[in-house]
Amino acid sequence: RENVLKNLEDKAFDKPICEALLNQKFFNGIGNYLRAEILYRLKIPPFEKARTVLEALKDQEQARRKKNPSLTLSKKLKLMRENPDLLELCHTVPMEVIAAEKKLLDPDHSDNYAAFKNWLQCYLVPGMSSLRDRNGRTVWFQGEPGPMAPK
């Protein structure tokens, strides 16, 4: 969280959020299906400028601190769990997969792929839209793609 918010001037954030999320320097472990699931849950268009999305988080965080400077760590964590933002979901969504790993990824369970497909809300889901980003990776989403969408 700190690494992203303190480096918002980095050129990596001049790109669409869907491309920035694959930058392992800032979003270690986030891959194609995770970025689709994270953006879908927050209804963020994949081709919105990354800096625009992330600066809004920084502004929200500063406003929250000013509004309630005495919040304890446990209350802050509770608020984040109840209203997760993009950076929080970059942690919790992969953790869902890890927590369910036995059920989702165990080759001894023949229904593991079915369980994984049922977990997916956006990636490879019928009825979702898809476009290729500038790296040639398919981005799955619902709604408008955003202002930086390829032509």
Residue position matching structure tokens 């500063």: 62
Length of the chain: 151
Quickly state the pLDDT bin for 128 (edges 50, 70, 90). Answer: very high
Could you tell me the residue ranges of all domains in the chain? 1-141
**pLDDT at site 113:** 74
**pLDDT at site 54:** 96
Q: For residues 98, 52, 40 and 62, what is the CA-based torsion angle, rounded to 10 degrees?
A: 60
For the chain, where are the alpha helices, taking DSSP H only?
A: 2-5, 17-20, 32-42, 50-67, 73-82, 86-99, 101-105, 112-119
> Does domain 1-141 bear CATH number 1.10.8.50?
yes
Tokens of 105: 């990824």
> What is this structure's pTM?
0.85
pLDDT digits over 18-59, tens only?
999 999 999 999 999 999 999 999 999 999 999 999 999 887
Contact 45, 146 (CB under 8 A): yes
pLDDT digits over 73-112, tens only?
676 666 666 678 999 999 999 998 887 766 665 666 666 6
